[in-house]
Amino acid sequence: MSEGDGDNPGLALVCDYDGAVTQVLWDDLDISAPLAGLSHLVCLFDPGSVQKALNLFLQVKERGASFGWELNVPGPDGPRALEFAAAVVGDRIVVLASIAPQDRSRIYDGLSHVINDQINSLRVLNKRVARPPAPDTAADGLPGQFTSDMFRDMLELNNRLVNAERALARKNGELRRLSTVLSKDLYLAHRVLQCSGEAVVVTDRERRVIDVNPAFTALTGFTKGEVLGTPHGLGEAGQHPAGFVEDIWDQVARTGSWQGECVGRRKGGELFPKWLSVSAVPDDSGALRHHVVVFSDITRLKNAEEHWHRLAFYDSLTRLPNRVLFRDRLQQAIARARREQDSLALLFIDLDEFKLVNDSLGHDAGDRLLTEAARRIEHCVRQTDSIARLGGDEFTVVVQGFPGEVELLSLCEKIIRSIGAPFELGGHAVQIGASIGIARFPGDGDEPDTLIRNADAAMYAAKSAGRNTSRFFSLALGERVSRHLEMRAQMAHGLQHGEFAVLLQPLVDMASGRVHSLEALLCWNHPERGPLAAEQFIGIAEESGLIVELGELSVRQALRAVRELRDGVWPDARVAVNLSRRQLGTPGLADSIVGELGRAGVAGEALIVEFSESLVMGQFDSGSPVLAALREAGVAAAVDGFGSGRSSLQALRQLQVAYLKIDRSFVADAAVSRESASIVGAINAMAHRLGLKTVAEGVERADQAEIVRQAGCDMAQGHWFARPQGLAELQQGLGRDGALIAAAPST
């Protein structure tokens, strides 16, 4: 516009280098109101022109002046175009704008023309603000902060630009293209730096910080002002090996980059792991100019890595190494023993009666027991020994460099004593044991699988020897364990194919001679070995857990037999079934038995449950509720083999046992041992005072039958009266109401 075009509306502002408006010189367009005082100039533009406004400021700060920018400003009728120019004046930026001509075919048509337009606009502005000087204005009518010196500077700038117009015009197209590309690249680089989620530090060639991004402050707590000009240390001092940081800088100098893990420190002093990348930035000549350091906090990654490592290699309950890590450590221990010609032993530990505790007191109590057992084993072994939990109640210890067998047995005894001490589990004092098998390298195996298998076999031998003890592996033992495992597999097969059945042995009333009740004795009709009595396989069944299934089968078959007898010649027929230790600790045992009574169609009075004397004390807490529930259903209880253990009379009374079965060892010796005969009499007297009936077991001869009759036994059981037999055979020898048709054999 020309000087005469003073009515052409326009705008003049003064801003600082950040774009904040410090003064409105002139605004007859009424568009500066949204600035609300000292606001950023960007507030003037519509969203489509904000990017162009930022580029305008970038150029004017780099070049000192920039002209010919058509930008949109919101208006009452929609966006309107204004032509903007800006120049650096002192430490401020002057921004001028006027209505953009609508008849121009292009925004920029000559640098000097644009500058003249803006200068003329400023002259019009000068006329508009000319008024009597106010205290805060200069003599030339301009506000005090915008002096005539500034005006002259702009004129001088115009003259210089006019003189350079021809040279600039020749390069105008290239400059505009380069300017656009550079502006976009610079803006993109700036936005990437500011928006990056990773901390970025830029240093000079002397490694002094010259810039950081917001992520750096968010991650470390240090502000930009606190670190500018300071040397950047990469890693935290004292947390790395000597020379670690210098080695990084050396590699960057040689190769141009380095990356890896190191330790950082936050402003509050907290250390954290970080993944660090350092790159050298050369100038156009290839000489080092800057360093760019990028890092991120990998605390969560490290925690996740540690968590997955624990899941993969450690038992979540006891925090001991699991089976996977155990095998790796055993492999390493074998390699070390082979290399150093050192001794090595593997202990295989199994907790005796753990399943009973787990079943009777619940899995939470079982978990607490396993955790405490793990701690006890740890306290027994050396720090150089490696402990692991293989699963369930099985633990292993790899012992390297032991002096000899005596020391190994001493260590096993120490573990057994520690495990044997009572466990306090939710108000219950629980006592268990430990069976330990020992295999030695290289005699018992020179690779992991063989050592594990043979230590496991030795552990089963310890269980077979009475539990709560330890055994060394031997070749004979290996063969015996193999037979044991084979028999266990055959038992499982036999259960599936109906090879097990119950035989019934009468218990005779000594006063009447009639059959009082029957005892169901499990028999295995082995396809190759023929009939096997319970004592030949019951131990294996206990260890393998098959005893639970066998017990259910015994109850089911015994109740069916009683049902048939009650429907026939003996309406009051009763049968006794043995309960094992594992069965008594099985959840839902009472409900299962009551259910079988219902399915068989007989009352609870038709069933007697027997359990060993050791169970009276060993599982009093867990067995008492089971027996109480069965008693409510009419089922009576009997203690089998009484006199061989140390049961409490108080426990017998609380359990409300109906029968005591005197152990066969006393009956067998009663004819030749006065002491045994006295014991039989004493047990009878005690039982009768407690209101209990007595049964003498194992009566094989007439003299034994007479002794137990004189001792006052209520009933007797043994081959002298009747052998165990099938239901069909029993029915043939049984008369009305339990009378035995066949007389007892003579001596």
Which tens digits make up the pLDDT trace of 20-48?
888 777 777 777 766 665 578 888 888 88
72 half-sphere exposure, CB direction, 13 A CA radius: 13
Question: Considering Cα of 144, then 147, then 151, then 157, what sign does the dihedral take?
Answer: negative
Is 264 domain-assigned?
A: yes
Distances (CA, A) of 619 to 70, 311, 362, 651: 95, 35, 14, 11
Helix (H) or strand (E) holding 162: helix 148-163
What CA–CA distance (Å, rounded) separates 31 from 27?
A: 7
* 460 and 338 together in one domain: yes
SS3 state of residue 747: coil
Average pLDDT over residues 514-527: 93
Is 187 domain-assigned?
A: no
Instruction: Give the count of beta carbons closer than 10 Å to the beta carbon of residue 701.
Output: 16
Highest mean pLDDT among 23-27, 289-293, 477-481, 556-560: 556-560
Angle at 601 between CA 600 and CA 607, to 5 degrees: 70
Angle at 379 between CA 375 and CA 381, to 5 degrees: 120
Q: Tell me, yes or no, if the pTM score tops 0.75.
A: no
For residues 463 and 433, the answer to whether their CB atoms sit within 8 Å is no
* 215 and 176 together in one domain: no
* 335 and 362 together in one domain: yes
Is 168 domain-assigned?
A: yes
What CA–CA distance (Å, rounded) separates 291 from 208?
A: 9
* 499 and 636 together in one domain: yes
What CA–CA distance (Å, rounded) separates 738 from 723?
A: 15
* 563 and 610 together in one domain: yes
* 67 and 97 together in one domain: yes
Is 746 domain-assigned?
A: no
Ordered alpha helix ranges (H), 276-427? 299-313, 323-340, 354-361, 363-380, 405-420
> At residue 653, does pLDDT exceed 50?
yes
* 537 and 559 together in one domain: yes
Query: CB-based burial of residue 531 (10 Å sphere; 0-12 exposed, 13-18 middle, 19+ buried)?
Result: exposed
Is 72 domain-assigned?
A: yes
* 508 and 636 together in one domain: yes
CATH of the domain at 717: 3.20.20.450
CATH of the domain at 48: 3.30.450.20
* Total residue length of the chain: 747
Highest mean pLDDT among 165-169, 536-540, 715-719: 715-719
* 298 and 363 together in one domain: no
pLDDT of 5 reads: 43
Average pLDDT over residues 424-445: 88
Q: How many domains does one find in the chain?
A: 4
Is 538 domain-assigned?
A: yes
Domain that includes residue 175, residue range: 10-181
* 467 and 555 together in one domain: no
Per cent of the chain over pLDDT 70 is 80
Is 483 domain-assigned?
A: no
Is 431 domain-assigned?
A: yes
